[in-house]
């Protein structure tokens, strides 16, 4: 590796996973710079996350973050970091892609951990849709789309200096022309407990059963996509998954839900997932924390009774 | 508007079997249409309904007729491209394919869960901006208008061409072509080309060291009659502190 290609850049457009990425970058040795593209509060959070320095760029009102990709790429070409990290979030991803290609870096998605090995970096990343973990050695520059756990306990280190990133590169002609509420902000989003129902439910009237469990638990009712979109039994803003709500309750109880990757993506950040399904081979029994194999029409009343005793 | 839709440029993870020892076996070693490809195609058709052209672009050993059976008139197929762990390498092949098509205003690509680096690296290889996570696109006054959901907000963006737009499907494809469309697709022109002809060299810079099973705790299943199973579950949940 050339003497100039050292250190790591963490490209951040939001605070999520920022501390975890700084920590992962730290463990590689070398200097760590956060490139924060967003409001001043983001730059301040970046500074407290423990890097050596922060480069900050604030897009003007109607500019999406993506308008500054060429700008960030040019700065990356100057600094020549060996490793880039960003989350998969749309804005951060666009910035990472631009910088990566400029540096001739390999772009690896689903990165869970990184370590230095000799002159190179070795990463573990998710493979086969998350069913396996692959180890890849990267002898050259690397751009990692980081999917490791967030680091919520990270201590606020002494604040790193924040420098404004401004080289006069004109932003790309991309404009935000409208913002409207998406209808995603139902009670389900922030609920501590959620009881969710899938196509295992036989009739709309049987929702009463689901609601009895929800009220015993003090939970919100959610569902899989077909229950909202195809059957129309539950409001659309209550379905969970890739195209619906992404939620992080402490408890998620899935009743008659098969557990496809598109559904489970919405509850990846739930603390405890419980599945009730009458098919012992259902995919959800490979990802849930707890399961009961049985007919939900028998299990739910028993669960209400057990909770009440 | 001149648009290109990239499709069938990776393998389908559903074809990957993970063995007990953590090794991955591709039961079908073929490029397949991605879960989001139909959404990218729909966006491409929407952008070119009022005049304009939509050209398909595919690479590897998949079936080039997929898009041709769904309203695309012609396609370019980079036949000898192979799957890569490095999304920038896949993107380099697609970028060369786009360049071979000539003047293009917008490239549409499925915003794949498995290969989220491809659209952004593709844009970078072309020197264009990228906007990803989009659900719909439309042409307006020579610009591309796209909609995407960001947190609780639905955001509309107006983009000056040229631009790469990655489209995420919200559900499975609803309208699958019939026999007539499949037969018509066979007659539509496909320009077959190779990496050498396009002048792309994509060395695999990553060294694969194998795969293993994730260290996730197995699901604790309570069986037996519902009364007993639910009592055990409630006890476990109390222990977890989530009740
Ligand atoms: C691009 C794309 C995006 C998508 N986005 C989403 C999304 O955001 N959210 C989402 O949910 N889906 C989404 N899907 C759909 C997803 O792939 C599944 O089709 C869907 O989640 C299945 O819903 P389900 O589990 O309710 O139904 P099914 O898969 O039909 O499962 C029903 C389950 O109920 C069990 N069951 C039946 N009877 C009983 C009983 N009496 N007691 C107990 N169990 C019983 C069955 O064993 C089965 O496992 C998406 C798909 C695509 C292609």
Give the per-residue pLDDT at B54.
Answer: 98
A30 touches chain B (CB under 8 A): no
Pairwise CB contact (< 8 Å): A306 & B91: no
All residues of chain B having their beta carbon less than 8 Å from the beta carbon of residue A73 are 124
Confidence check on the interface: ipTM exceeds 0.90, yes or no? yes
Same domain, A115 and A217: no
Q: What is the CATH number of the domain that holds A83?
A: 3.40.50.620
All residues of chain B having their beta carbon less than 8 Å from the beta carbon of residue A64 are 131, 155, 157
Query: In this predicted structure, which of A36-45, B86-95, B136-145, B200-209 has the lowest mean pLDDT?
Result: B200-209
A223-275 pLDDT per residue, tens? 999 999 999 999 999 999 999 999 999 999 999 999 999 999 999 999 999 99
> In testing the pocket of ligand 1, which one of A201, A222, A228, A258 has its CB within 8 Å of the most ligand atoms?
A258
In a domain, A1, yes or no: no
Q: Pairing mode, if any, of strands B31-32 and B10-11?
A: antiparallel
Same domain, A268 and A122: no
For B199, phi then psi, to 5°, come to: 70, 30
Mean pLDDT to the nearest integer, B88-115: 97
In a domain, A218, yes or no: yes
Q: How far is the CA of A226 from the centre of ligand 1 (A)?
A: 7
Burial class (CB in 10 A: 0-12, 13-18, 19+), A203: exposed
Distances (CA, A) of B78 to B95, B101, B120: 11, 12, 20
Give the per-residue pLDDT at B175.
Answer: 87
Q: How far is the CA of B205 from the centre of ligand 1 (A)?
A: 39
From CA A225, how far away is CA A244, in angstroms rounded? 8
Same domain, A44 and A100: yes
In 3D space, the residue among A293, A288, A289, A235 whose CA is nearest the CA of residue A263 turns out to be A288
User: Nearest by CB to B230, which of A286, A287, A306?
Assistant: A306
Mean pLDDT to the nearest integer, B89-94: 98
Same domain, A124 and A43: yes
Where b means 16+ CB within 10 Å and e means fewer, A65-89 reads bbbbbbbbbbbbeebbbbbbbbbbb
Confirm or reject: Cβ of B172 under 6 Å from ligand 1. yes
The strand ranges marked E within B97-142 are: 106-110, 130-140
Same domain, A224 and A273: yes
In a domain, A22, yes or no: yes
In the predicted structure, residue B193 carries a pLDDT above the cut 50: yes
| pLDDT band at A154; cut points 50, 70, 90 | low
In a domain, A275, yes or no: yes
Q: Pairing mode, if any, of strands B16-18 and B24-26?
A: antiparallel
Mean pLDDT to the nearest integer, A11-31: 95
- Using DSSP's 3-state secondary structure scheme, residue A119 falls into coil
**Half-sphere CA count of A283, side-chain side, radius 13 A:** 10
In a domain, A179, yes or no: no
The strand ranges marked E within chain A are: 8-12, 32-37, 53-57, 83-86, 106-117, 120-127, 132-138, 142-146, 162-164, 174-181, 193-197, 220-223, 251-255, 272-277, 290-293
Question: What domains can be seen in chain B, in order of their start residue?
Answer: 2-198 (3.40.50.620), 213-243 (no CATH)
From CA B156, how far away is CA B126, in angstroms rounded? 24
| pLDDT band at B51; cut points 50, 70, 90 | confident
Give the per-residue pLDDT at A169.
Answer: 83
Q: What is the pTM of this model?
A: 0.94
Same domain, A12 and A159: yes
Higher pLDDT, A168 or B33: B33
From CA A196, how far away is CA A191, in angstroms rounded? 12
**C-alpha dihedral, B131 to A129 to A262 to B166, nearest 10°:** 10
In a domain, A3, yes or no: no
User: Nearest by CB to A128, which of B13, B115, B163?
Assistant: B13
Q: How many CB pairs under 8 A join A and B?
A: 263
The strand ranges marked E within B37-123 are: 53-59, 74-78, 106-110
Q: How far is the CA of A224 from the centre of ligand 1 (A)?
A: 6
Cβ atoms A111, A125 nearer than 8 A: yes
In 3D space, the residue among B87, B185, B229 whose CA is nearest the CA of residue A295 turns out to be B229
Mean pLDDT to the nearest integer, A54-78: 95
- Using DSSP's 3-state secondary structure scheme, residue A120 falls into strand
Pairwise CB contact (< 8 Å): A134 & B222: no
In which domain, by residue range, is A88 found? Answer: 8-164
Same domain, A157 and A204: no
In a domain, A299, yes or no: yes
From CA A249, how far away is CA B107, in angstroms rounded? 38
From CA A192, how far away is CA A270, in angstroms rounded? 9
B28 touches chain A (CB under 8 A): no
Same domain, A39 and A150: yes
Same domain, A53 and A160: yes
Same domain, A227 and A156: no
Identify the residue whose C-alpha is closest to ligand 1 atom 39: A200
Same domain, A152 and A19: yes
**C-alpha dihedral, A20 to A25 to A29 to A32, nearest 10°:** -110
Which of these three, A143, A164, A185, is where a domain ends? A164
| pLDDT band at A4; cut points 50, 70, 90 | very low
Q: Pairing mode, if any, of strands B106-110 and B2-6?
A: parallel
In a domain, A184, yes or no: no
Confirm or reject: Cβ of A71 under 6 Å from ligand 1. no
Which of these three, A145, A164, A183, is where a domain ends? A164
Chain center to CA of A122: 22
All residues of chain B having their beta carbon less than 8 Å from the beta carbon of residue A289 are 217, 219-220, 240
From CA B56, how far away is CA B73, in angstroms rounded? 8
Q: Pairing mode, if any, of strands A220-223 and A251-255?
A: unpaired
Q: How many domains are contained in chain A? A: 2
Give the per-residue pLDDT at B141.
Answer: 94
Same domain, A160 and A198: no
Q: Quick one: how many helices (H) and strands (E) in chain A?
A: 8, 15
What are the strands of the beta sheet with B74-78, ordered from one edge?
A174-181, B153-159, B143-150, B130-140, B163-167, B106-110, B2-6, B53-59, B74-78, B190-193
């Amino acid at each position: 590796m050339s003497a100039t290609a050292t250190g790591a850049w963490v490209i951040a457009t939001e605070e999520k996973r920022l501390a975890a990425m700084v920590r992962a970058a730290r463990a590689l040795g070398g200097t760590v710079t956060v490139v924060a593209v967003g409001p001043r509060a983001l730059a301040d959070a970046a500074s407290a996350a423990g890097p050596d320095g922060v480069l900050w760029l604030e897009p003007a009102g109607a500019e999406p973050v993506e308008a500054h990709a060429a700008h960030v790429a040019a700065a990356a070409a100057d600094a020549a970091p060996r490793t880039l990290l960003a989350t998969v979030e749309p804005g951060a991803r666009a910035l990472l892609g631009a910088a990566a290609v400029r540096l001739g870096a390999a772009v690896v998605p689903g990165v869970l951990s990184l370590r230095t090995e000799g002159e190179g970096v070795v990463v573990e990343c998710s493979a086969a849709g998350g069913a396996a973990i692959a180890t890849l050695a990267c002898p050259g520059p690397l751009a990692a789309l980081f999917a490791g756990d967030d680091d919520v306990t990270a201590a606020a280190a002494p604040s790193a200096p924040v420098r404004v990133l401004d080289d006069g590169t004109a932003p790309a002609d991309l404009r935000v022309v409208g913002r409207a509420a998406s209808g995603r902000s139902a009670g389900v989003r922030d609920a501590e407990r959620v009881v969710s129902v899938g196509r295992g439910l036989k009739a709309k009237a049987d929702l009463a059963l689901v609601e009895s469990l929800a009220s015993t638990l003090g939970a919100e009712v959610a569902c899989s996509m077909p229950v909202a979109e195809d059957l129309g039994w539950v409001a659309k803003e209550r379905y969970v998954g890739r195209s619906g709500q992404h939620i992080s309750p402490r408890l998620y109880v899935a009743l008659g839900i098969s557990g496809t990757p598109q559904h489970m993506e919405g509850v990846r950040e739930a603390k405890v997932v419980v599945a009730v399904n009458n098919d012992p081979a259902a995919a959800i029994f490979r990802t849930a924390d707890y399961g009961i194999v049985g007919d939900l029409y028998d299990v739910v009343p028993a669960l209400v009774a057990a909770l009440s005793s | 508007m001149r648009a290109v839709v990239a499709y069938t440029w990776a393998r389908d993870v559903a074809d990957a079997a993970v063995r007990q020892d953590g090794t991955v076996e591709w039961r079908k070693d073929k490029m397949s249409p991605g879960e989001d490809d139909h959404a990218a195609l729909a966006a491409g058709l929407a952008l070119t309904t009022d005049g304009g052209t939509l050209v398909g672009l595919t690479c590897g050993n998949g079936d080039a007729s997929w898009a041709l059976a769904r309203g695309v008139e012609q396609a370019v197929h980079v036949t000898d491209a192979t799957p890569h762990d490095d999304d920038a390498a896949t993107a380099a092949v697609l970028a060369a394919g786009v360049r071979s098509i000539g003047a293009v205003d917008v490239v549409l690509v499925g915003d794949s869960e498995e290969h989220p680096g491809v659209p952004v690296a593709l844009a970078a290889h072309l020197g264009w901006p990228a906007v990803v996570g989009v659900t719909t696109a439309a042409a307006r006054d020579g610009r591309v208008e796209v909609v995407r959901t960001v947190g609780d907000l639905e955001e509309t963006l107006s983009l000056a061409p040229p631009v790469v737009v990655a489209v995420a499907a919200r559900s499975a494809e609803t309208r699958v072509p019939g026999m007539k469309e499949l037969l018509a697709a066979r007659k539509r022109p496909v320009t077959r080309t190779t990496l050498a002809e396009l002048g792309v060299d994509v060395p695999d810079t990553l060294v694969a060291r194998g795969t293993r099973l994730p260290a996730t705790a197995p699901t604790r299943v309570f069986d037996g009659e519902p009364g007993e199973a639910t009592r055990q579950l409630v006890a476990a949940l109390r222990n977890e502190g989530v009740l």
